[in-house]
Amino acid sequence: EGVSAVILGRPNVGKSSLLNCLLREERAIVTAIPGTTRDTIEECLDIQGVPVRIIDTAGIRETVEAVEEMGIRRARQKLGEADLVLLVLDGAEGLQAEDRALFAVAADKKVVVVVNKIDRAPDLDIGLYGEVFPGLPVVGISATTGQGIHALEEALYEAA
Ligand code: GDP
Ligand code: MG
């Protein structure tokens, strides 16, 4: 029951770090190696009294490796079932073609745009993302320092 929210984004943007940050727990393995998350992880969050099932996914990308491909297939399935998508971007790297491709995959869902790693990009203008994704909530966060997490929870509450 409740709302289901899938965390979507390129490898290494900080999806698993975001899950851990929202859970206040080191639930998912975080490394600098792309492809670390190979399976989906589902946990329940309480956002101001609203139950939200949050799902960390293996990054959806082209791959030749069998186990990773199974993780990606599951991620696509979870995405299909989701009410809400947290599209995670790397604020330090800037927007890339793959980010837009993932957004296109999620376009029929409610999307919250999460600009992560703002600790590494202190001068970043989050408003620019509002122009790229008009009408969507955009929140700048750092999954490692916790900066912006309350604003994200607020955006999730409003979207859910
Ligand atoms: P995933 O592949 O999208 O799940 O990304 P991970 O959560 O595994 O993180 C990938 C790398 O980015 C790890 O080295 C993390 O420590 C780092 N990382 C994640 N979030 C942040 C952040 O907000 N700031 C910084 N500086 N590094 C981060
Ligand atoms: Mg991961």
pLDDT digit string, tens, across residues 18-40:
999 999 888 787 878 777 777 77
Pocket of ligand 1 (CB under 6 A): 9, 11-17, 30-32, 36-37, 59, 116-117, 119-120, 142-144
Domain range enclosing 124: 3-159
Domain count for the chain: 1
Interface confidence, given as ipTM, is 0.99
- Can you give the pTM of this predicted structure? 0.91
Whole-angstrom distance, CA of residue 74 vs CA of residue 154:
28
- For residue 13, give the ligand nearest its CA: 1
pLDDT value at position 71?
60
pLDDT value at position 1?
64
Query: Ligand 1 atom 18: the closest Cα is on which residue?
Result: 14
Residue 74 sits in a domain of what CATH number? Answer: 3.40.50.300
Q: Which segments of the chain does DSSP mark as H helices, in order?
A: 15-23, 66-81, 97-105, 127-132, 149-159
Cα(28) to ligand 1 centroid in Å equals 11
Q: Name the token pair of 8.
A: 């979507």
pLDDT band at 117 (very low <50, low <70, confident <90, very high): very high
Q: Provide the annotated binding site for K(+).
A: 12, 31, 33, 36
Amino acid at 20: N
